[in-house]
Amino acid sequence: MPKRLKTGTKWFVGLSVAIIVGALLVQPAAFAGIFGMDDYPGGTLTAVFLIDEPNSDAPPRRYEMRIQPGENGYDVTEEVSSPGRPVDEVTTAFGASGGAGAAGSRYEEDDSPNIDLSPLSALDDKNVDIKPDQNYILPDGGRLVTQGTETVAGVEVVMGVFLHSNYPNQRVKMAFADRKTRDLLLFPAFFEREEKGEVKTRIELVEFNYQS
């Protein structure tokens, strides 16, 4: 059952826009995958991401999710701080479509379509243990080439590059945490989309705290 929104409030302060989405009930069968959380195992969670479009004049957005036990499940608070950005360009990111919503830039007619990330879902469908220095052939022309391990916001990750045969001018650098941690995160711990060698979108986990 999808998460249900109970209340929501907006504040507009100067050039900053913060959207607080309060009191969401975490229900079973949540949105699993590389983008989106799996069934919540319980406990408290704080995850903070910076979302940047380096070719834009706007400063990075700050996205924070907090989950804590409530009377009838778990209360989820989602906050997006977007200094200097027009109100109609500020979006929250809760749910499996969050990667497109919070990380995507405004689409213009002369833009090329963003690389199709759907082949990555095969890794979760088959419960693949992503390891360093591997070449994963994915459906529909996708391929993931993993590299070494790094630490992002205290989380150990495997770095990798995703390629797609239908988008030869684009590539995505990603960080993969272990499956349990990955299922707690709305975005990958690191995500950077390049087009023709230019970074278009970058998402990075800057704070992570989970207590079961």
Among 22-36, 153-167, 184-198, which stretch is predicted with the lowest mean pLDDT? 22-36
For residue 172, what are the domain limits?
4-109+116-211
- Please name the amino acid found at residue 25: L
**What pLDDT is stored for residue 35 in this prediction?**
64
**What pLDDT is stored for residue 79 in this prediction?**
87
Query: What burial letters (b/e) apply to 23-62, b meaning 16+ CB within 10 Å?
Result: bbbbeeebbbbbbbbbebeeeebebbbebbbeeeeebbbb
**What pLDDT is stored for residue 124 in this prediction?**
86
Higher pLDDT, 84 or 159: 159
Average pLDDT, the chain: 76
**Residue range 15-59, pLDDT digits in tens:** 333 333 333 333 323 333 566 677 788 899 999 999 998 888 878
Query: What percentage of residues in the chain have a pLDDT greater than 70?
Result: 69
**What pLDDT is stored for residue 59 in this prediction?**
84
**What pLDDT is stored for residue 100 in this prediction?**
39
Given a contact cutoff of 8 angstroms between Cβ atoms, the answer to whether 89 and 106 are in contact is yes
**What pLDDT is stored for residue 101 in this prediction?**
42
Q: What is the DSSP letter of 139?
A: G
Domain count, the chain: 1
Paired with 163 in beta bridges are 143
Which domain CATH number covers 99? 2.50.20
